[in-house]
Amino acid sequence: MALIRILVIALVVWLLIRMLRNWMDRKAVKRSTTPEQINTVVRCAHCGLHIPQQEAIQVEGHYYCCKEHGKIHRQEHR
């Protein structure tokens, strides 16, 4: 009977340690994703592809995914 009691206590301690580790890991993930890391996403005016604003090319107030689409815009709107 004493062996079963020791095994049950060991199991409970092991479960508590696992739960504590999972809880701490989730907290670390929440801290690492701050609003500063989230980029604004814009839509290419030519093909509709969504890309981060930092990577987009801006021509005459419109965003494009590549230089070619910006050139096409300039040619079509002359």
For position 76, what pLDDT does the model report? 79
Where do the domains of the chain lie? Answer: 1-35, 39-78
Alpha-helix runs per DSSP H in 1-78: 2-32, 67-76
Which residue has tokens 């290419």? 44
| pLDDT tens, residue by residue, 4-62 | 999 999 999 999 999 999 998 887 777 665 566 667 899 999 899 999 998 999 988 89
For position 31, what pLDDT does the model report? 67
Alpha-carbon gap, residue 64 to 10, rounded angstroms: 60
Q: What predicted TM-score, i.e. pTM, was given to this entire model?
A: 0.50
For position 35, what pLDDT does the model report? 60
Q: Which residues of 37-68 are buried (b: 16+ CB within 10 A; e: fewer)?
A: eeeeebebbbeeeebeeeebbebeebbbbbee
Mean pLDDT of 73-78: 77
For position 36, what pLDDT does the model report? 61
